[in-house]
A and B are shown apart, each in its own frame.
Chain A
Amino acid sequence: MKALAYDADAEVVDASDAPASIEGAATADERHQVVLDKEVRAHVGRARRQLIQVNVGRLAVFAAFIGFWQWSSDRLVDRLFVSDPLSVARAFRDLVTDDDFFFHLRFTLSEVGAGYGLGVGLGLTCALALSFSHVAQRIFHPFLIIFYSIPKVALAPLIIMWFGLGMKSKVLLAMAFVFFVVFMNTLAGINAVSKDLVNVSRVMGVNRRQLIRKIILPSAFPYIVMSLHITVPLAMVGAILGEFLAGNRGIGYLINAASNQYNSARVFAGIIVVLMIVLVMSSAIGLVEKRVLRWRPESTRTSF
């Protein structure tokens, strides 16, 4: 089996010792090697061609979108509202070279980071705490559903009232968005752990701590990682929402201020900054996922 395995990502195939054709091969082993090498080359070629197709396609879609935007501005719609890509690019440059841009950026990043971290931590802890008691799960279930059903946006004014205009209220908002998703997913993951597996492990003699650390958490990990992915943009929603509503700091505040001045190019520039933050955070989590979930078969991975 090992001899037949090959690395799909391998760029270079070591075939230097092997004869180039079946006719040139002396032994059966060499003949087999020729077939294997050919198959690997074909596979690498296919993968490379597909990658090129995908990237060209993506570029084309993006270019078409930008082109249409530039063309339609002032032809189909008023430039005042939609701006145009060139103006947005200029506004983006102006925005990030502003003296106080990094002050605002740091503010938003801290809110998102703290809200995300707290939400994830609290979600995991609560899910673990509830996972041991069927009764506790049944007691809390309706309340959780009620809290989950409240649009978190509607909570924002209250939270700002309670915790002020500063960073605290924004962190809490971001946390509220993150907490439930992590909590619900983790609990679902823990409840989905194979009963058989738990029983076999208990008979093997695992204690409670080992059961959590070595069986339950790793089993639930795919669920947990999925929730970590989903909640990155949600944390951003919480922070930006808070900045829209109150205070005079953060990227959300900059976007809101620009929109009040009908400076749509600057609004788009702000949105691009937000987008970039979310993308960077998402890919960081994607990297962690790739490391931690190495053991999973290719086809079941969630990232793309």
Chain B
Amino acid sequence: MLRNVQKAFVTGRGRDRRAALAVQDVSLEIQPGEFVSFIGPSGCGKSTVLNMLAGLERASAGEVRQGASPIDRVNTNVGYMTQDDNLLPWRTLARNVEFPLEIRGVPRRTRAAEARRILAQVGLERYGDYYPHQLSGGMRKRGALVRTLLADDPVILMDEPFGPLDAQNRRMLQDQLLHLWSNSGKTIVFVTHEHDGLAAVRPFVTHDLVEAVTLSDRIVVFTSAPGTIKRVHTVDLPRPRDVFRIHETPGFDEIYNPVWDDLREEIAKVASVERQAS
């Protein structure tokens, strides 16, 4: 899917203008039906890679493909979620969820029924007539998730989708995501929350890493800028996985620890750069 991809950005003005590589030599083949997570320090270009897959940004060099076709314009064969739920505030939840069907010209009745059906799968059947501002953050996120799924694209790209939620809501959404994804045959590329330099000195376990282990078939660790792939870890924990007790699954530590070592190394690099800068 990605081969030798590079992305350069130009920063500064006038004399200070220079180009820097944000993404360097990224090559990755993602299998259909696979759940892949990107993890890495802030500014490592993992969101940029995701945006290239969505066709929202072009690679400066290299090849980005989906199947046989190169991604050289906005990629409408994927679903795309960001940190914000991006529900349309002037539409009720149900009308939001049916939106991808509406723009394809699906008749009103059919799409309303579809929206009702999928809302019921995440326990929101009673909230279809509510406007987004009347719903909690977790409910809005669930709405955004089922909207993306209802569009029925073979690939779903998620950029820190559960970022602003509290731990409890996150777990619930992870659980529902896994539930909806299993047997769907869809490919998911999932970017975890940003890690700033401070994370290296904070000794506690990062939720994002646990999230990646919980959800993924493979975890791609990015280096600090310019972002390249440091290592790809395979997560061979059996499915279905228990989101709420993933720590107790045999083999969890054997997967978690090496990923954390890789990640910590990269976060430390960012931290030392930040220290020098300040």
A residues engaging B (CB < 8 A)?
Answer: 1-2, 194, 196-197, 199-200, 202-207, 210, 214-215, 218, 221, 293, 295-297
Note all chain B residues with C-beta closer than 8 A to A295.
Answer: 89-91, 131, 133
Tell me which residues across on chain B come within 8 A of A293, comparing CB atoms.
90
B172 within 8 A of A: no
- In the complex, what residues of B have CB within 8 A of residue A215's CB? 88
Partner of B100, one of A1, A196, A199, A204: A204
Known: A200-B86, A218-B90, A296-B89. A205 touches B80 (CB 8 A): no
Q: Is the CB–CB distance between B100 and A205 below 8 Å? A: yes
Q: If the complex has contacts A199-B56, A203-B76, A203-B80, are A194 and B86 also in contact, measured as CB distance less than 8 A?
A: yes
A residues within 8 A CB of B165? none
For the complex, what is the distance from the CA of A199 to the CA of B80, rounded to whole Å?
A: 9
Which 5 pairs across A and B sit closest by C-beta, in order of nearness?
A205-B76, A203-B80, A295-B90, A200-B86, A297-B133
Residues A200 and B82 in contact in the complex (CB < 8 Å), given A2-B126, A205-B103, A206-B103: yes
Q: Would you call A296 and B86 a contact (CB within 8 A)?
A: no
Residues of B within 8 Å of A214, CB to CB, are 88, 99, 103
CB-contact partner of B81 in A194, A200, A210, A218, under 8 A = A200
Please tell me if the beta carbons of B86 and A197 are within 8 angstroms of each other in the complex.
yes
Measured CB to CB, the residues of B under 8 A from A are 54-56, 74-76, 78-82, 84, 86, 88-91, 99-100, 103-104, 126-127, 131, 133, 151, 157
A200 lies within 8 A of B80 (CB): yes
Q: Is the CB of B91 within 8 A of A203?
A: no
Residue of A nearest to B76 (CB): A205
Task: Tell me whether A203 and B75 are in contact (CB under 8 A).
Answer: yes
Enumerate chain B residues within 8 angstroms of A206, measured Cβ to Cβ: 103
- Asked if A196 contacts B88 (CB within 8 A), the reply is no
**B86 adjacent to A196 (CB under 8 Å):** yes
Shortest CB–CB separation between residue B141 and chain A, in angstroms? 13
Indicate if the CB atoms of A210 and B84 lie closer than 8 Å: no
Bound-state Cα–Cα, A200 to B82, Å: 8
- A199's partner among B54, B88, B89 (CB-CB below 8 A) is B54
Q: Is the CB of B54 within 8 A of A210?
A: no
Known: A203-B80, A214-B88. 10 other contacts (CB 8 A): A197-B88, A199-B80, A200-B80, A203-B76, A203-B79, A204-B76, A204-B99, A205-B104, A215-B88, A221-B90
- Alpha-carbon distance A295/B89, docked complex (angstroms): 7
Which chain B residues border A2 with CB–CB below 8 Å?
126
CB A192 to nearest CB in B, in angstroms, measures: 13
| Complex CA–CA separation, A202 to B57 (angstroms) | 13
Cα separation A39 to B76 with both chains bound (whole Å): 50
- Contact between A196 and B84, CB atoms less than 8 A apart: yes
Chain B residues with CB under 8 Å of A200's CB are: 80-82, 86
Which residues of A sit under 8 angstroms from B81, Cβ to Cβ? 200
Identify which of A196, A203, A297 contacts B55 (C-beta below 8 A).
A203
| Closest CB in chain B relative to A189 CB, distance in Å | 13
Most B CB contacts (10 A, CB to CB) among A215, A221, A295 go to: A295
Q: Which of A202, A205, A218 contacts B56 (CB 8 A)?
A: A202
A218 to B87, CA, bound (A): 13
Q: List 10 A-B contacts (CB under 8 A).
A: A196-B84, A200-B81, A203-B74, A203-B76, A204-B99, A205-B76, A214-B88, A214-B103, A218-B88, A295-B89
B83 CB to closest chain A CB, in angstroms?
A: 8
Bound form: Cα–Cα A189–B99 in Å? 22
Instruction: Give every chain A residue within 8 A of B88 (Cβ-Cβ).
Output: 197, 214-215, 218
**Nearest-CB residue, chain A, relative to B80:** A203
Residues of chain A with a CB closer than 8 A to B100's CB: 204-205
Asked if A210 contacts B103 (CB within 8 A), the reply is yes
User: Does A202 lie within 8 Å of B91, measured CB to CB?
Assistant: no
Q: Which residues of A contact B104 (CB under 8 A)?
A: 205
Chain A residues within 8 Å of B90, by CB: 218, 221, 293, 295-296
- For the complex, what is the distance from the CA of A207 to the CA of B103, rounded to whole Å? 8
CB neighbours (8 Å) of A296 from chain B are: 89-90, 133
* Closest residue on chain A to residue B151 by CB atoms: A204
A196 contacts across to B, CB distance below 8 A: 82, 84, 86
How far, in angstroms, from A290 to B56 measured CA to CA in the complex? 37
Which residues from B are CB-within-8-Å of A207? 103
**Chain B residues near A221 (CB-CB < 8 A):** 90
**Set of chain B residues within 8 Å of A194, measured between Cβ atoms:** 84, 86
Q: Provide the bound-state CA to CA distance between A244 and B133, in Å.
A: 49
